[in-house]
């Protein structure tokens, strides 16, 4: 027994044995109900849907799959086929996927998802305890700090809804420890520890990475001001800071380069993704002033009551809570040992709290209109994409847990029978933070998925389009064929250009009125099957759960395969159509026609369209366009395929002209647009060309 106690008391056994084992034992009751279905059901508290859960399952599978075949996981053609999607700026969870790759390949991604959730809770507490022990210097105070950190109600609440990527809080304490090293003794080991923490946060959650970088920038400004009179110390500090920045920048530079130096992009047409859209979401996901005095919603006794109280103010109001225990102990620690706490800790904590309040001061869910410092971040490229300011509190939580550890250490030094008081304190904390346990969430499987031959050529088109439904990724992972849709949280021009086919003729009319046809087609059924044949889309998967009616005229052209209460599977008929496919994109007014049956469609000053090509595209396509103009005007055909626009002048208004233009391919999906340099001012709008037909024919012609 004495030998065991001696080993436990040794720093090595305590840090690398007792800490992870004790936190694992604490997590067992939280996960207990899910162990029986660990490999088939998600460990969450999802009810009807679990979009983020299946998104993260897909991410774990994709990373493991790509690494197993020696290919990069940062791009996929399995979603948003045929254009594919860049996944680096999405929720790829590369760090977690890399960690779980052996588990995923052996036991599957659902097993890996559940294990990752548990490992994240243990790792977050463990990292917090190690950080607190080094800084505070008290073992049991550090252990309780780990409990306060990982079982914070907001952290638990994210596990309820399958946000596996945002469970990875372990990188924040590691980063804080590194910055503590650099701000104090300026040890170089803080450089690589800090770089590791920032990269881990960035490659686990884009939010965490952006917020960690923001934190370091503000902290660097504070340190520069503090050491402004010590030239030698300041020089060493900036050498270390630049070295850490280089260690972070080098791995992500190949992926960030195309974002920072983009190619040709479609000019803005109509309402795009603007700053005001981000402000709306940021205000919805901002922390409240009541965050620090509100009990958590994860408790079995009062959680539902607190949630109902929150929902009085806004249906989308996020019920943030860090736990009353950590707040009370942190305030007590600051009061008792304020002279021992570095001033920059207190300043940065205040900064994080203010940033977490979002771009506007919210009062009971209402916007007061008072601007806050977070709004400044919206004018920094990419940073405004962090649409959840309240997550800054998770960084602040690490510092609050440190202050709580100071308070516990001070109490242990001042009180008699500190172990008795420690047990009592742990009982109070355990009662306050005790959460509702996780429950298994089973996928809604279907005979439809079984009817699709796995890992074969031919994409699947799920209809209707619903870009806020992560459940489509469960099906894609099951049959492992490309899907024309997908689920990504950041579908906007700044991050990904997916070339979605939801606006294609035939696809639109599957669930919408026939009157929505563009001028390019007259029969929606023929348009749908032509598209499927040219792009090698073999199946249409109709989801009945959305309650969306379907046009029977379109459905009759397809071959029914199998169905159940939720899904129906149809297959394309054999067809001999070949060549490229043109789909009108943005900047087109509704079609018009005259009594003689002539049909046309006016463009805005910028009328965009997509040129899709099948697999292994040839070098070029010949675009044939028939259109007239209301007045003499200069026209340009522009897009990513051109170094400069193809420009020409049409001087004969009302005469239908036919032009053939050679366009070189840059991939499976090319975004092109007519740019009208002198648009005609109609009575109610600016108009350009009156398009009557637009076709594309593939060619093997190569210019030398």
Does residue 70 belong to any structural domain of this protein? no
pLDDT band, very low/low/confident/very high, at 92 (cuts 50, 70, 90): confident
pLDDT at 175 over 50: yes
Contact between residue 398 and residue 128 where contact means Cβ atoms under 8 Å apart: yes
User: CA 127 to CA 19: how far, in whole Å?
Assistant: 9
Helix (H) or strand (E) holding 409: helix 392-414
How far, in whole angstroms, is CA 447 from its chain's centroid? Answer: 30
Asked if residue 493 and residue 416 are part of one domain, the reply reads no
Q: What is the mean pLDDT of residues 631-658?
A: 88
Could you report the per-residue pLDDT of 660-696, keeping only the tens digit for each? 888 877 777 788 999 999 899 888 889 999 999 999 8
Of 205, 202, 207, 133, residue with least CA distance to 173: 133
Domains: count for the chain = 3
656 lies in a domain? yes
pLDDT of 4-58, one tens digit each? 556 666 777 888 899 999 999 999 999 999 999 999 999 999 988 888 899 999 9
Cβ–Cβ under 8 Å, residues 603 and 625: no
Check residue 143 and give its pLDDT.
96
Is the residue at 14 inside a domain?
A: no
Q: Are residues 429 and 454 in the same domain?
A: no
113: domain range?
Answer: 30-37+108-439
Write the pLDDT tens digit of every residue in 263-273. Answer: 677 776 554 44
Residue after which a domain boundary falls, among 571, 596, 615? 571
d(CA 508, CA 105): 38
Q: Is there a domain that residue 51 lies in?
A: no
Q: Is residue 280 part of a domain?
A: yes
Q: Are residues 618 and 649 in the same domain?
A: yes
**Do 305 and 210 share a domain, yes or no?**
yes
In a domain, 83, yes or no: no
The better pLDDT of the pair 434, 657 is held by: 434
CA–CA dist 260, 266 (Å, integer): 16
Q: Are residues 461 and 331 in the same domain?
A: no
In the predicted model, is pLDDT for residue 205 greater than 50? yes
**What's the CATH code of the domain at 598?**
2.60.120.260
Predicted pLDDT of residue 556 = 86
Q: Which of 125-129, 159-163, 451-455, 470-474 has maximum average pLDDT?
A: 125-129
93 part of a folded domain: no
Co-location of 432 and 490 in the same domain: no
pLDDT at residue 369, as a whole number: 85
Is residue 175 domain-shared with residue 265, that is, in the same domain?
yes
What are the beta bridge partners of residue 540? Answer: 461, 570
Based on the fold, state whether residues 560 and 625 are members of the same structural domain.
no
Q: Comparing 39-48, 272-281, 635-644, which segment has the lowest mean pLDDT?
A: 272-281
Structure tokens at 435: 């959460």
- Of all residues in the chain, the percent with pLDDT exceeding 90 is 46
Calculate the average pLDDT of the chain.
Answer: 86
Q: What is the pLDDT of residue 496?
A: 41
| Residue 247, pLDDT above cutoff 90 | yes
Instruction: Label each residue of 390-407 as H, E or C.
Output: HHHHHHHHHHHHHHHHHH
Is pLDDT at 316 greater than 80 in this prediction?
Answer: no
Closest CA to 632 of 664, 599, 655: 655
- Do both 526 and 429 map to the same domain? no
Last residue of some domain: 439, 470, 504?
Answer: 439
**Entry pTM:** 0.89
Please check the confidence at residue 169 and state whether its pLDDT lies above 70: yes
Residue 273's pLDDT is 43
Read off the pLDDT of residues 476-517 as tens digits, 9 standing for 90 and up. Answer: 999 999 998 888 766 544 334 455 687 888 888 888 777 778
Average pLDDT over residues 443-465: 89
338 and 486 both lie in a single domain: no
Q: Binning pLDDT at 50, 70 and 90, where does residue 329 land?
A: very high
For residues 541 and 593, membership in a common domain is answered with: no
Look at 75 and 402; give whichever has higher pLDDT. Answer: 402
Based on the domain organization, do 338 and 466 belong to the same domain?
A: no
Among the listed ranges 111-125, 202-216, 355-369, 441-455, which one has the minimum average pLDDT value?
355-369
Q: Which of 571, 592, 619 is the last residue of a domain?
A: 571
Residue 180 located in a structural domain: yes
């Amino acid at each position: 027994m004495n030998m065991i106690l001696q080993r436990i008391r040794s720093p090595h056994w305590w840090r690398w044995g007792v800490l992870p084992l004790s936190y694992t034992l604490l997590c067992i009751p939280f996960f207990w109900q899910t162990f029986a279905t660990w490999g088939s059901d998600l460990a969450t508290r999802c009810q009807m849907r679990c979009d983020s859960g299946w998104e993260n399952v897909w991410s774990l599978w994709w990373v493991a799959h790509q690494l197993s075949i020696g290919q990069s996981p940062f791009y996929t053609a399995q979603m948003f086929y045929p254009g594919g999607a860049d996944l680096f700026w999405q929720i790829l969870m590369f760090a977690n996927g890399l960690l779980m790759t052996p588990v995923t390949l052996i036991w599957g991604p659902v097993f890996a998802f559940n294990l990752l959730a548990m490992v994240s809770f243990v790792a977050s507490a463990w990292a917090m305890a190690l950080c607190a022990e080094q800084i505070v210097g008290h073992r049991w105070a550090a252990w309780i700090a780990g409990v306060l950190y990982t079982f914070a109600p907001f952290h638990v609440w994210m596990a309820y809804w399958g946000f596996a990527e945002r469970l990875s809080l372990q990188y924040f304490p590691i980063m804080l420890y590194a910055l503590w090293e650099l701000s104090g003794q300026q040890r170089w080991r803080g450089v690589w520890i800090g770089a590791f923490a920032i990269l881990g946060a960035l490659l686990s959650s884009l939010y965490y990475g952006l917020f960690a970088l923001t934190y370091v920038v503000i902290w660097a400004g504070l340190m520069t001001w503090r050491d402004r009179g010590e030239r030698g110390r300041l020089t060493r500090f900036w050498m270390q800071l630049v070295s850490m920045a280089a260690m972070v920048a080098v791995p992500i530079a190949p992926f960030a380069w195309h974002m920072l130096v983009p190619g040709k992009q479609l000019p803005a047409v109509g309402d795009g993704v603007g700053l005001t859209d981000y402000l709306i979401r940021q205000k919805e996901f901002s922390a409240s002033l009541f965050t620090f005095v509100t009990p958590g919603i994860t408790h079995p006794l009062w959680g539902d009551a607190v949630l109902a109280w929150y929902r009085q103010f806004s249906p989308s109001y996020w019920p943030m809570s860090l736990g009353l225990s950590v707040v009370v102990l942190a305030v007590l620690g600051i009061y008792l040992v304020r002279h021992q706490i570095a001033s920059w800790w207190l300043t940065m904590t205040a900064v994080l709290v203010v940033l977490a309040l979002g771009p506007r001061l919210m009062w009971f869910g209402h916007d007061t209109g008072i601007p806050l410092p977070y709004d400044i971040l919206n004018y920094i490229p990419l940073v405004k994409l962090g649409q959840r300011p309240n997550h800054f509190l998770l960084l602040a939580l690490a510092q609050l847990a440190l202050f709580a550890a100071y308070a516990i250490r001070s109490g242990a030094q001042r009180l008699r029978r500190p172990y008795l008081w420690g047990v009592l304190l742990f009982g109070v904390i355990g009662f306050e933070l005790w959460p509702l346990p996780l429950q298994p969430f089973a996928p809604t499987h279907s005979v439809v998925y079984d009817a699709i031959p796995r890992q074969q050529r031919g994409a699947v088109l799920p209809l209707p389009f619903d870009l806020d439904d992560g459940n489509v990724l469960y099906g894609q992972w099951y049959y492992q064929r490309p899907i024309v849709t997908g689920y990504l949280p950041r579908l906007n021009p700044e991050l990904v250009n997916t070339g979605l086919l939801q606006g294609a003729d035939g696809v639109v009319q599957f669930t919408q009125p026939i009157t929505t046809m563009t001028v390019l087609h007259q029969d929606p059924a023929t348009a749908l099957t032509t598209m499927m044949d040219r792009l090698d889309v073999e199946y249409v998967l109709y989801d009945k759960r959305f309650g969306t009616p379907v046009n029977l005229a379109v459905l009759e052209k397809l071959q029914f395969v199998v169905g159940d209460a939720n899904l129906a599977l149809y297959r394309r008929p054999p067809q001999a159509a070949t060549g490229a496919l043109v789909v009108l994109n943005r900047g087109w007014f509704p079609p018009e026609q005259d009594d003689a049956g002539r049909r046309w469609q006016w463009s805005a000053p910028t009328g965009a369209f997509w040129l899709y090509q099948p697999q292994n595209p040839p070098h070029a396509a010949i675009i044939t366009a028939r259109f007239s103009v209301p007045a003499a005007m200069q026209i340009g055909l522009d897009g990513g395929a051109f170094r400069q626009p193809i420009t020409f002048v049409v001087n004969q208004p009302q005469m239908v002209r036919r032009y053939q233009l050679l366009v070189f391919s840059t991939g499976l999906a090319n975004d092109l647009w007519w740019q009208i340099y002198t648009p005609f001012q109609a009575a109610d709008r600016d108009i350009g060309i009156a398009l009557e037909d637009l076709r594309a024919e593939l060619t093997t012609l190569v210019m030398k």
